[in-house]
Amino acid sequence: MSRVYNFSAGPAVLPEEVLKEAAAEMLDYRGCGMSVMEMSHRSKMFTDILETAEADLRELMNIPDNYKVLFIQGGGNIQFSMVPLNLAKNGVADYIITGNWANKAMKEAQRFIDAKAIASSKDKTFTYIPDCSDLPVRENADYVYICQNNTIYGTAFKELPNTKGKTLVADVSSMFLSQPMDVEKYGIIWGGVQKNVGPAGLAIAIVREDLIPAEDLPKVPVMLQYKTYADNNSLYNTPNCYAIYICGKVFKWLKNRGGLEATYEFNKKKAGVLYDFLDSSEMFKATVVKEDRSLMNIPFVTGSADLDAEFIVAAKKEGFENLKGHRTVGGMRASVYNAMPIEGVEELVKFMKDFEAKH
């Protein structure tokens, strides 16, 4: 078997150890005679999987007791709707636009409420994070929304915005579990798991209890209410059982590696290998200002669209997959999530040096 170095932004590389464990359990999970994909979500065996996954996530992130952990189907686009539908008591929300996903979230919120941008980095093609120290947050805003790590453009908030006391909601999809977070600084932390935690089709929302409406919202579909998931331990309907199972294994894998503090140090070292080369190269250039660079998604260019295309083809032949940049920006992008071994980045840099020398 030959494994490539998969630099995809999502669905993305998963820990090989986790994949091997799942393969070994595919036909018979712990002697039950069936796969996790076949068992009832109401069974004690799956309930144990779900409860263990939540407990491990709470330990990893040090999640306070007054926050609910919700496993929700539908990925990120469902959260773009759920956030405004559940939080907007005044029907007002402020968004910080640092890329496509924050903008998409705002556009979706505008279907239901008065949502507007109060800061943006669009003027420089989202290559930096705007100053968020003194934002024009509206007095009646129900929340302030950010995408904390921008998958497409490769930027990340190093400091959280000053929300003037308003609830902070953060999409952390592409940085989920890549570093420690102070959960209490947020009202809601949510992430699609397909980038850094598990297979596609599942989002995890960490929601402060007081933000979950106490009563049913008669105009909001049942499946779009956080209360539905909170009241039913994420088991109101059949959840994405297999994705939860894999996420649980990833949580164990992270704990065994020393938790999020150790993971963060590893990720800084790993990203540094590529950034250091990009800053010294005469051909390849990083596109993001140094102070706002993501540790997870690293876009870069040669300055020539033809050379970019040649590089992507050549890289693929050498076993470096999914380096093509997002269709909206072009160039290249290396996503170096938790499960990407540092050897993968070192081999990529070695190939880039050879490519530069030949051109």
Residue 316 is a catalytic residue: no
Residue of 74, 79, 121 lying closest to 100 (CA atoms): 121
Distance CA 305, CA 77 (A): 31
Instruction: Choose, from 171, 270, 292, 308, the residue flagged as catalytic.
Output: 171
Distance CA 192, CA 151 (A): 12
Lookup: tokens for 103? 């903008």
Instruction: Choose, from 56, 68, 101, 253, the residue flagged as catalytic.
Output: 101
Residue of 96, 105, 47, 100 lying closest to 75 (CA atoms): 105
Q: Count CB-CB contacts under 10 A for residue 273.
A: 16
Instruction: For residue 208, list its beta bridge partners.
Output: 67
Q: Are strands 143-147 and 67-73 parallel, antiparallel or unpaired?
A: unpaired
Distance CA 349, CA 43 (A): 48
Q: How far is CA 98 from CA 104, 160, 326, 347, 354, in A?
A: 11, 13, 15, 31, 34
Instruction: Choose, from 195, 227, 252, 270, the residue flagged as catalytic.
Output: 195
Sign of CA dihedral 244, 245, 248, 253: negative
Residue 171 is a catalytic residue: yes
Residue 350 is a catalytic residue: no
DSSP string for 194-228: TTTTS-SSEEEEEEEGGGS-SS--TTS-GGG-HHH
* CA angle (16 as vertex; 15, 18 as ends), nearest 5: 65
Which residues participate in catalysis according to the annotation?
101, 171, 195
